[in-house]
A = this chain, B = another copy of it.
Amino acid sequence: MADFGRLSEHLGYLLHRTELKLISRIAEALAELGVTPARATAVVFIALHEGCDQVELGHALGINRASTMKALDQLVALGAVERRPGRDRRSNALYLTPKGIEMRARIEHITETTDAANFSVLSEDEQTALRSMLQRLHDFDPRQQPEIRPLTHAVSD
């Protein structure tokens, strides 16, 4: 890594640079299926939530309705997903096609294999500790923490 001084020691920056490397390997491995990591995530979500609508999918992926449309159009063009009539006449119900079901199996295999290789540099105990830390970092919101106030009597506040 290039010299970025103190930045190189920042946990946030290290996390960022590491993530870039790991996701590029996942992307490379998934390319044989014709999907990006984001599209693969959509396939997995639809598999686990058969009949969900586009709003639900978009919410899970963290993108809006218009972007969800484009992502879905790609997966429909790949023959992996189909839109069926939904719970009312406004909404679609999303389902994997047989090709999508096979794709999902291959996605899970590829991501698990790649993940295993990427993290094989860590011991089992380290991987457990890392998972715990990442879960907490993900769920933690520093803005909801109370300010630490000095234990002195302020003259005015």
Q: Which A residues are within 8 Å of any B CB, using their own CB?
A: 1-7, 9-23, 25-26, 37, 41, 44-45, 47-49, 59-60, 62, 108, 111-112, 114-115, 117-122, 126-127, 129-131, 133-138, 140, 142, 145
Q: Are A134 and B41 in contact (CB under 8 A)?
A: no
Q: Are B120 and A137 in contact (CB under 8 A)?
A: no
Q: Are B4 and A111 in contact (CB under 8 A)?
A: no
In the assembled complex, the Cα of A14 lies from the Cα of B26 at a distance in Å of: 13
Q: Are B14 and A118 in contact (CB under 8 A)?
A: no
Given A16-B19, A112-B10, A115-B10 in contact, is the A44-B134 Cβ separation under 8 Å?
no
For A26, the chain B residues whose CB sits under 8 A away are: 12
Q: Are A137 and B108 in contact (CB under 8 A)?
A: no
Secondary structure call for the A interface? helix
**Least Cβ distance of A27 to chain B in Å?**
11
**Least Cβ distance of A146 to chain B in Å?**
12
Q: Are B138 and A118 in contact (CB under 8 A)?
A: no
Q: Are B45 and A119 in contact (CB under 8 A)?
A: no
In the assembled complex, the Cα of A17 lies from the Cα of B131 at a distance in Å of: 12
Given A7-B41, A44-B7, A112-B10 in contact, is the A120-B142 Cβ separation under 8 Å?
yes
Chain B CB within 10 Å, residue with most, of A21, A23, A118, A133: A133
